[in-house]
Structures are given as structure tokens and as C-alpha cells.
Chain A
Amino acid sequence: MHCRGRRARTLAGTLGLIAGCWLAACSHPSPAAQAAEKREAIQSAAATARLVVRAWNAGDVPTAYASRTLEQAATRLESAAGPGNKLAESIVRLSEAVQQGNHALAAQQENALRR
């Protein structure tokens, strides 16, 4: 009897844990968590753009790769920060500079990103 009660408690605990996990999964993130996520996404896109342009300026990666990766970074940044974001526009200009093979303009835009 006692053993059956313990088993029932264990089962209830396990089911509670599973239900907790699923409920947490289905709940919406808090505004603070959303803001932190947005900040991280913006920082990540800008840092990716800087690293890619630096590699392209050093001749380590091909133009097609650099341009495509920069476009992706700009798209991600826009989806995180909303349309018309200045940083996203800088990355788009950076991608255009890379496509034109304009190293000076790319370096200038990269400096702007750093600021």
C-alpha cells in the first residue's frame, strides 16, 4: 500500500515535470527577454558583418560569399529591429560595396558599423 502510494507520487512528479516543461514551452517570453533577444540579434548581425568584411578585405573569402552573407545579416537585423533600421542600411551599403569590389568604401562602412 505504502509502496503504491510512493509510486503514485513519483508518477505524479514525473508527469508534473513533463507538464511544466511543456507549459513553459508554450508560454510567451517576457518583454525583458524579448528585448534582450532583440539586442543580441542586432549585435550578432553587426559583428558577423564586421568579421566577413574584414576577411573579404584581407582576400580570405570570395566576393559572392561575402556579399550573400552580408545580405543575410542585413535581413536578420531588419527582422529583429524592424524595417528602416540604420545599421541594416549600413550593412546593405557594405554588401553593395563588396559587390562592386570597392575595398575603400567597404572599410569605411565597416568603421561605421564599429561605431
Chain B
Amino acid sequence: MKRFLEIGLGIVTGIGGFLEAGSLATAAQAGADFRFSLGWSIALGTICLAFLVEMSGRLAAVSRHTIPDVMRERFGFTFFVAPLVVMQMVMLLVLATELGGVCLALQLASGVAFRWWALPVMAVTWLLLWKGTFGIIEKGVSMLGLVTLAFAVAAWRMHPPVHDVLVGLVPSLPTHDAPHYWFIAVSVLGASISPYLFFFYSSGAVEDKWDAGYLGINRITAGLGMGFGGLVALAALITAAMVFHPAGVKIESYEQLPILLTSVLGRWGFVLFVLTLAIACFGAALELALTMAYTMAQGFGWQWSEDLPPAKDARFSVTYTIALVLAAVPVALGTDILKLTNFSMALTAASLPLVAVPLLIIMNDPRYLGDRCNGWISNTVALFVIALAFVLAIVAIPLELIGG
């Protein structure tokens, strides 16, 4: 019974935690600009993410180590510095977009400009990290994140053409505006295959004291949780394809997005959108700030745990405090959050090889995984992710300039 509860909770966490500012904005842009044609990028990103999450959970359950921890130990600190610096910079940008997303939700609800919310939102996020436990942050916020299912309800009620949606799941070449098509595809993949997600997952597994007995739960949670989460992102694409594409609306700011839900759910649509944006981005901001602290602490061998009082892991707590303060600056300065989102998603995609290559090597090292090393399916997917990651790394920035 306990195992079923844990599986259920894991799946709920996966669904509730999947959608955030990046995945919502990029999915909606994909639907508005290219109807269902970019559905494949969400499906591909979700499959890759599910495999990577499963691997990071397996590594944590078998070796009791997290990814950054093993990367430093296996390849040495000199090697580890490059991914550490790049990942921290990318995560800081993504953290800024998530804080910005919460602030925008508050702007929609109150009418007060989003930049004025930067400090209060940063303070509340910090307070929850300072006072809260890992369980509250992981499960509590993700449970609230189920409000994102509003997009699934909206997509269902619109009765989208099923055949066209299914055709969109097959990768296709663009019929118009190729640079923008590929830029959005890269952004969707960057939003889906975010290294912070599997860094956080492996740290969470260690926080929850997983052992080899959790391998089954890990596999189901990674597969179903990420799978259903991907469906919510696909639902956002479908609503945008049904509402914005026929009208010729191009998404140029987050303020346009509530119309996606009000056109189907009326007044409740607006309320649900504000809640979706606020909770999804708040949850992601908590996870990102924690992941930045986890990565630093695990990389430098500091004491770390969200369940410890801050006095017991001072450097870990100071790291997320500094990260939150720095991330709040661009929001307080009134930076365009949608532009920041697209930029950070492209950079996330570009930074993926730095994590994917070491992860593949680690996942085939019996010193850490014993007889639980990757099989041929996981290795094939990991190799595919690496090839994809290198292509994304090469084209992400030029596409940002041409089609972004």
C-alpha cells in the first residue's frame, strides 16, 4: 500500500512539476505559430527527459550519490568546474524567468506592475526554502501544481482534430518561416530536457534516502510522471493552436496567454491561468534555487540537505540565498520576461552536452551502478540525446539571432 502511495505521489509530482514558465511559453508559441506541427518536439523532449530522469534516480538509488557528486569524483574537480560554472549561469537565468513568471501572475491578479513584485516573491521563496523541508517543497508545491491540468481540460473541451494532433507528433520540416520553426523547436527541447530537472531529481532521491528497492518506483515515476507532464505541455500547445493560430496571434508577451483559457473556461479560465502561472513558476523557482545550492554543495563537498536547519549547512543555505537575490535583479529592473525565457531556454539547450556526455559515461560505470548499469535501450536513448544536444548546442544561439 505504501509503495502504491509513493508511486501515486511520484506521478502527481511529475505532472504538477512539469509545466513552468519555459515549457508553458514555448509550447504556447509553438501552437500559435505552427499549429500542431511542433507537437513532436514536446513528445521527443518528454521521452528524452523520462529516460534521463530514470537514469539519475537509478544512480542515486544504487550508489547513494547525486549526478554532480559523481561527476566531480569520477572526472576530477578540474573537469567539473566547466559544467558547474555553465550550469549555474544557465540555472540563474532560468530562475530569473521563473521568479518573473510568479511576478507576472501577481500583476495579472492585482494590476500592479510585475517588477514591484520581484522582492516580495524573492523573499517568500527564500523564506519557504529557509523554513521548509524537502517534502513540503517537492510534494506540497507539486500537488498544488495539479492546477496546470486546466490546460488539459481546456484542450479537451475544444475538441481538437485528433488526426492533425497525431500527425504533429511525427517530426516534420517547416512549411514556412524555417528559422523561427527551428528556434521554437530548440526552445521547446531546451525547456523539456533541462539538466536542472534531473539534477534535482537525483538530489531528491538522496534526500528521500532511496535504495535499490526504489528502482521500480523510480522507473514508473519517471515514465508516467514525465509522460503525463508532457501531455499537459501538449495541451498548452493544442489550446494555443486552437485559439491563437486561426486568429493570427503571435505570442509576444505573457499577458496574451490568459486568453487561451478564458476563451474556453470563461471567467474561471482567467483565475485558473493566474494560479497555473503562479504555482508552476513558484514550484520551479524553489526547485531551481535548491538545485543551484545542491550542485555547489555536492561539487565542493559541503554539507547539504534541505531537511537540515540552515545553521547546519550554512554554505548550502547561503548559496540559494545569493542565487535568489541575483535572479530577482533582472525582474526588478523590468526585463521582458518572455524574451528572457526564450533566451534562457536556448542557452539550456546549448549547455546540454556538458551534462549528457558525463552522465552516459557514469551510467555505464559498474563502480557506481554495479549490475544496474545502462542497458542497450537506455544507452541508445542517451546517445541520441547526446547527438541531439550537440546539434542544439551548435544551432541554438544562431537560431536565437535569426528566428528568436
Residues on A facing B (Cβ under 8 Å): 17-18, 21-22, 24-26, 40-41, 43-44, 47-48, 50-52, 55, 58-62, 64-65, 68-69, 72, 76
Interface residues of B in 192-249 (CB under 8 A from A): 243-244, 247-249
A9 to B190, CA, bound (A): 30
Distance in angstroms from A71 CB to nearest chain B CB is 10
Residues of A within 8 A of B270 (CB): 55, 60-62, 65
A65 lies within 8 A of B266 (CB): no
B256 lies within 8 A of A65 (CB): no
In the complex, which of the residues B258, B267, B395 contacts A59, with contact meaning CB atoms closer than 8 Å?
A: B267
Residues on B facing A (Cβ under 8 Å): 108, 110-111, 179, 243-244, 247-250, 252-253, 255-256, 258-259, 262-263, 266-267, 269-270, 394-395, 397-402
A65 lies within 8 A of B394 (CB): no
B255 lies within 8 A of A47 (CB): no
Decide yes or no: A44 and B262 within 8 Å by CB, A24-B398, A72-B253 being known contacts: no
Residues of A within 8 A of B111 (CB): 62, 64-65, 68
In this complex, which of A21, A50, A68 has the most chain B Cβ atoms within 10 angstroms of its Cβ?
Answer: A21
A25 lies within 8 A of B248 (CB): no
Residues of A within 8 A of B249 (CB): 44, 47-48, 51
Distance in angstroms from A89 CB to nearest chain B CB is 20
Residues of B within 8 A of A58 (CB): 266
Residues of B within 8 A of A40 (CB): 248, 250
Residues of A within 8 A of B397 (CB): 25
B252 lies within 8 A of A60 (CB): no
A44 lies within 8 A of B252 (CB): yes
Distance in angstroms from B146 CB to nearest chain A CB is 23
Query: In the complex, given contacts A55-B263, A61-B259, what are 12 additional A-B residue pairs having Cβ atoms less than 8 angstroms apart?
Result: A18-B394, A21-B394, A21-B395, A25-B399, A44-B248, A47-B244, A51-B249, A58-B266, A60-B270, A61-B258, A61-B267, A68-B111
Distance in angstroms from B395 CB to nearest chain A CB is 6
A76 to B179, CA, bound (A): 22
A21 to B248, CA, bound (A): 29
A41 to B252, CA, bound (A): 9
A60 lies within 8 A of B247 (CB): no
A60 to B402, CA, bound (A): 37
The residue on A at minimum CB distance from B396 is: A21
Residues of A within 8 A of B255 (CB): 65, 68-69, 72
In this complex, which of B249, B252, B258, B263 has the most chain A Cβ atoms within 10 angstroms of its Cβ?
Answer: B249
A51 to B250, CA, bound (A): 13
